[in-house]
Amino acid sequence: MQTYSFQPTVEYARQLDQEDVLAHYRNEFYIKPDSIYMDGNSLGLLSKRAEKSLLEVLADWKELGIDGWMEGKHPWFFLPETLAKLSAPLVGASAEEVIVTGSTTVNLHQLVASFYKPEGKRTKILADELTFPSDIYALQSQLRLHGFNPETHLIRVKSRDGRLLEEEDLIAAMTEEIALIILPTVLYRSGQILDMKRLTDEAHARGILIGFDGCHSVGAIPHAFSEWDVDFAFWCNYKHLNGGPGSVGSLYVNRKHFGTLPGLAGWFGSKKDKQFDMEHLLIPADTAGAFQIGTPHILSLAPLIGSFEMFQEAGIERIREKSLQSTQYLMDLIDFELEDYGFIIGNPREEKRRGGHVSLEHKEAARICKALKEYGVVPDYRAPNIIRLAPIALYNTYEEVWKVVQILKNIMAEKLYEQYSNERNVVA
């Protein structure tokens, strides 16, 4: 990657684009003319490779019918394992420790059902107050199923400033009452990266299992789950990994836990050679595949074939390098151009703590987001006051980053946002 030295001109943005080793991947995506898409941290764009692999799977269904399970270009029976092999390097795991299955919340339910084993004093689950609500709903329901009151048994570590979490506070909450810890890898609002290795080490030193929600990090930053000895993790594949709306999710289980009986059993968790014996005794797979439940959603898996192949080719280290430089450029432009308009950059500025998006705070955030859309920029709004902007390494350009800030400056200078209500749309 080129040497970066901030200059606020469009010429410099174009120079960065000319030197970008990932620039050609932009041609792999469907880019809407006269639109700048900065919401890839919420839903990634469609790539031509993902479209191609989906059409190939449809063709197999068309031509082969039920024989597509074992024949064709992408045999369906082994597709979750095939995709696990392609995507495991993104999280620093072996192929056997990953399976592509379910959805984020279903996978969380499965993992908590499998690894939450309250006993004696250890009956509580530790989370945080800034995590995505769906995770909290799942944890609350799991506690109820065990006969516990979520008000007393779900411990949510507080943020000191409403934006970030301090590892010291999380560690201090790892008491002898905690049976399980679930934390985000990257906070969905502020984009803060938690120190997963440190937290895992501290949890294990206290005899506590720990798992991570990687929805806002996988595909944007490198991970080393196996090296860090993380117990388990789960994530979606439709954000940074461009798997499509409602794409099938993924989970990771450290190989030291292979053999753990899945808490929620289903026939696709069987050993492959035993599944069609049709016995009423489950013989689980001896890999993370044991934590599958039902029949894979093949047509939702299909786009991931092309997408994962592209990530394997581009390399997560190069993706991270460009992501860091793009977000740095965006923050530098915001500092330079927008200092008079009441914006606050709410994400960490340090590279090791910054994920793949910039969290821009403003009291008029909802109406500013609406104005941005009207003027050709697709941002992301998060209540109560956050505009998330994500320059995605594989398809956003530095010139687009420069243009976004100029459009935002014009919206603020001309008060164009005032014609909109400061309320979120139904889908923010």
267 labelled as ligand-binding? yes
Q: Do the strands 209-213 and 178-184 form a parallel or antiparallel pair, or are they unpaired?
A: parallel
For the domain made up of 10-30+316-419, give the CATH fold.
Answer: Aspartate Aminotransferase, domain 1 (3.90.1150)
152 labelled as ligand-binding? no
Residue 305, SS3 per DSSP: helix
pLDDT of residue 2: 61
CATH ID of 52-313, from 3.40.50.300, 3.30.413.10, 3.40.50.1100, 3.40.640.10:
3.40.640.10
In the chain, domain spans: 10-30+316-419, 52-313
Topology match between the domains 10-30+316-419 and 52-313:
no
Mean pLDDT over the full length of the chain: 97
CA contacts within 13 A on the Cβ side of 263: 16
Neighbouring residues of 62: CB distance < 8 A, sequence distance ≥ 6: none
132 labelled as ligand-binding? yes
Q: Is the pLDDT of residue 280 over 60?
A: yes
- Judged on CB neighbours under 10 Å (0-12, 13-18, 19+), 180 is buried
116 labelled as ligand-binding? no
Contact predicate 154/178, CB 8 Å:
no
104 labelled as ligand-binding? yes
335 labelled as ligand-binding? no
Which tokens is 159 given?
């943020």
What is d(CA 324, CA 16) in angstroms, rounded to the nearest whole number? 13
pTM: 0.96
213 labelled as ligand-binding? yes
384 labelled as ligand-binding? no
Q: Is the pLDDT of residue 1 over 60?
A: no
349-394 pLDDT, tens digit per residue, is 999 999 999 999 999 999 999 999 999 999 999 999 999 999 999 9
156-215 pLDDT, tens digit per residue, is 999 999 999 999 999 999 999 999 999 999 999 999 999 999 999 999 999 999 999 999
229 labelled as ligand-binding? no
